Amino acid sequence: MAAMMTACNPGDRVIVFSPFYENYVADTILSGAEPIYVPLHPPDFRFDEAELRAAFARRPKAIILCNPANPTGRVFTRGELELIGRLATQADAFVITDEVYEHIVFAPHQHTYFAALPGLFDRTITCGSLSKTYSVTGWRLGYVIAAPAVIAGARKVHDFLTVGAAAPLQEAAVAGLNLPDSYYSELQASYSAKRELFLGFLRQTGLRFTEPEGAYYVLLDIAESGWTDDRAFCDWLVKQVGVAAVPGSSFFHEPVHNLIRFHFAKRPETLEAAGQRLIGLRERAAQAPERV
């Protein structure tokens, strides 16, 4: 929110890729700006260059970029980021990046820091967080990195939004920031193992899904089970199967109702228990009376 209010004035336009983390649109609207939606096309959730160019032709003040992405698990390639950078430069737009999953990326994919691309630091507002990397989601600690003139504005906005994070938590965060490189290697290895464990069970569901390249989310396509209502499916899933998921429609601007989102940031034994319950999900869901 601080980044949005720093970059935008009421009446400005902001490009938002769809699907998106739900706060992006809410923060855009609360800032008085208008969202311009650009779809990420399944199953690989890549944008169409012509559609993105058309969005930039409307002279947005900013574009929001989540990389690695929630809920898709996409890791944008360097070429994609460079294209976004060129279009943002031509439109004189800020690029607000959400890079909270920067250290959760699966081989052979690599995370590229947008602000590190040549000539783009001054128009980038990077939003980071300790929540995911250090597993302290409840602390709500984050940070913004930008050019000095932009940070000066962000500090003023932040002071009126939240005043400041609790001092003891800030002190505790220093311990995490001082961890050695081996911590990040172990983190990546841990999530890679969890990913493979959970995806192994999803392959036994009989339903299609998009393999995540980063973050810890996976979108499962329920269309072949005969369900057309993702919310109803998630209700049935938690009641009858004992596994919770999020309706994919909550992340889309478009009327998409065939996807549900799982996450695998859990202990291996929890993923094992959930996975066992999901085996054969397609057939069980197709026979459920709630489907019709």
pLDDT at 291: 84
pLDDT for the residue numbered 162: 85
Tell me the average pLDDT across 173-186. Answer: 96
pLDDT tens digits along 42-85: 999 999 999 999 999 999 999 999 999 999 999 999 999 999 99
* Per-residue pLDDT tens over the stretch 160-175: 988 888 999 999 999 9
Mind spelling out the 3-state secondary structure of the chain? CHHHHHHCCCCCEEEEEECCCCHHHHHHHHCCCEEEEEEEECCCCEECHHHHHHHHCCCCCEEEEECCCCCCCCCCCHHHHHHHHHHHHHHCCEEEEECCCCCCECCCCCCCCHHHCCCCHHHEEEEEECCCCCCCHHHCCEEEECCHHHHHHHHHHHHHHCCCCCHHHHHHHHHHHCCCHHHHHHHHHHHHHHHHHHHHHHCCCCCCEECCCECCEEEEECHHHCCCCHHHHHHHHHHHHCCCCEEHHHHCCCCCCCEEEEECCCCHHHHHHHHHHHCCHHHHHHCCHHHC
pLDDT tens digits, 246-288: 999 999 999 999 999 999 999 999 999 999 999 999 999 999 9
Looking at 13-17, 168-172, 209-213, which range is the least confident one?
A: 168-172
Window from 158-172, 187-201, 228-242 with minimum mean pLDDT: 158-172
Matching CATH number, 2-177, of 2.10.109.10, 3.40.640.10, 3.40.50.1820, 3.10.25.10: 3.40.640.10
pTM score, two decimals?
0.96
Domain 181-291 CATH class label:
alpha beta
Every domain of the chain with CATH number 3.40.640.10 lies at: 2-177
Output the average pLDDT for the chain. 96
| Segment 150-164 mean pLDDT | 91
* Rounded-to-integer distance, Cα 107 and Cα 110, Å: 7
Closest C-alpha among 277, 228, 230 to residue 252: 230
CATH 3.90.1150.10 domain span(s) along the chain: 181-291
Exposed/middle/buried for 21, CB within 10 Å: 0-12, 13-18, 19+?
middle
Number of other residues whose CB lies within 10 A of the CB of residue 176: 14
How many CA atoms are closer than 13 Å to the CA of 239, on its beta-carbon side?
Answer: 9
Note the pLDDT of residue 164.
Answer: 81
Q: Pick the more confident residue, 290 or 207.
A: 207
pLDDT tens, position by position, 19-46: 999 999 999 999 999 999 999 999 999 9
The pLDDT value recorded for residue 292 is 63
- The pLDDT-based confidence of 15 (bands split at 50, 70, 90) is very high
**10 Å Cβ neighbour count for 16?**
23
The DSSP bridge partners found for residue 18 are: 39
